[in-house]
Chains A and B, each alone.
Chain A
Amino acid sequence: MSTDETVVWQALQDVQDPEFPVSIVDLGLIYGVRVTDARVDVEMTLTSMGCPCAHWIVEDVQERLGQLPGVSDVAVEVVWDPPWTRDRITAAGREALRGGGVSA
């Protein structure tokens, strides 16, 4: 039984930016997910190429998705096209950032 893509998106909501407690989904970092049997492919970006926590975020995505039932393989590809901009932050993300004293 393969995992539903909706379940993957929900699981990714649990992964926070290590630098600031806001979900990477709400930051708009996830470009797409694809489920093929027991494998999950994630295409994502980072807010900058010099992101201090690039590998943490990728590891956190792999760890969280690896916990999903039926998933045995998680492949994360970090892409820079299209480039991330603040416009990608969701309303919930903006709210979380504002709550932490950061304007977005």
Chain B
Amino acid sequence: MIAEQDLIQRLADGAMIETPAQMSEGYLRELKRTLLISADTEFLGAVMHWPNLMNRRVPERFDRALLAIIQDELGHAHIDYRMLADLGEDIDALMYGREPRQFKHPYAMDMPYENFAESVVVGAFMDRAGYILLSDIFETTSYLPWRRALVKVNKEEHFHINFGVRTLRALAAGADTRPVLQRAIDWMFPMTVEWFGLPDERKTHDMQLTYRLKGKTNDTLRQIWLGQIVPLVEELGLHIPAHFDAAEGRYVLDFHLPCAFDEAEKHWHLDEPVSWDDVIRRWKGRGPWNERLVECLQSGRRSIDAMRVAA
């Protein structure tokens, strides 16, 4: 371990980090915190399509693709938890020893995705959000093991986005599927906007930037995402509450961020502003399917443990 000020100077000079001996205590803490968010996001990402698959709401020609996506996400989660193990954490305790509300994935992943259109928008919107966040880490991160791991992860995320965009176009072209797709976009667009976190003005001191774990701010990353999603949805002639403001030279939302969300109805009250403190409270309370989804991931292991005890 090295002193904080020495590390910050080295990082400013472009140093890369390979082992804990080259870190400060603060860097190790922030790295573990960031990796855990990534690991939990991949882990819970693996079950987002599961209810649709189990309830046969996925067209047969896409069910194997969704299974392949689940396999990828579990693989990515394993890579992240494995990196945490190399930093002294216990993988079993992280995956199976925590309560559902202790997981650090975005609130969006605690929502139920209940028809194929919602699986499609997960791919088109949310996997793209994940890809943009991970690409920034890949390009910037000072932690070399993560950078190496992300080469394969990001290539596979392309597949998930491909799935989303391809099926988004297909559903947009169908008279019966188009309204269902629009409803999915209506609630999942603001939800993914929120995924990028607090606005920069609320985040004055971001240690992830100081330690060069990531390179771009939340608002910059959100703009990159809007710059890809808004034109795509507009091209398909679907409604999206955002547009490019030529005078400002950036994408702007046509609603107040943050605004009130009715999680039971999956409906945003776009004209009903709330505070970021309200949002943080909602995030910390976790979403409606938090326990069910974490249980889905942990239950197999518990059954095996029970059988071992019985034997």
- Asked if A80 lies at the interface with its beta carbon under 8 angstroms from chain B, I say no
From A21, A52, A56, name the one whose CB has the most chain B CB atoms within 10 angstroms.
Answer: A52
CB atoms of A21 and B68 under 8 A apart: no
Question: What residues on B are CB-neighbors of A99 within 8 Å?
Answer: 151
> Which A-chain residue is minimally distant from B68 (CB atoms)?
A52
- The count of chain B contact residues (Cβ–Cβ below 8 Å) is 15
- Asked if A7 lies at the interface with its beta carbon under 8 angstroms from chain B, I say no
Question: What residues on A are CB-neighbors of B166 within 8 Å?
Answer: 56
Question: What residues on B are CB-neighbors of A19 within 8 Å?
Answer: 68, 156, 159
CB of B70, distance to nearest CB on chain A (Å): 10
Stretch from B59-67, B111-119, B171-179 forming part of the interface with A: B59-67
- Given that A18-B162, A19-B68 are known contacts, is A55 also in contact with B61, CB under 8 Å in the complex? yes
Contact mask for chain A residues 16-38; partner B; CB cutoff 8 A; 1 contact, 0 none = 00111100000000000000000
Q: For residues 49 through 106 of chain B, which have their beta carbon under 8 Å from a beta carbon of chain A?
A: 61, 64-65, 67-68
Question: What residues on A are CB-neighbors of B65 within 8 Å?
Answer: 18, 52-53, 56
> Which A-chain residue is minimally distant from B166 (CB atoms)?
A56
For B159, give its contact among A18, A54, A55, A101 (CB under 8 Å): A18
Q: Which residues of B come within 8 Å of A, CB atoms?
A: 61, 64-65, 67-68, 148, 151-152, 155-156, 158-159, 162-163, 166
Q: Which residues of A come within 8 Å of B, CB atoms?
A: 18-21, 50-56, 99-102
- Sorted nearest first, the 3 A-B pairs with minimum C-beta distance are A101-B152, A52-B68, A52-B64
A-B contacts, 13 listed (Cβ < 8 Å): A18-B65, A19-B68, A20-B155, A51-B64, A52-B67, A52-B68, A54-B64, A100-B152, A100-B155, A101-B148, A101-B151, A101-B152, A101-B155
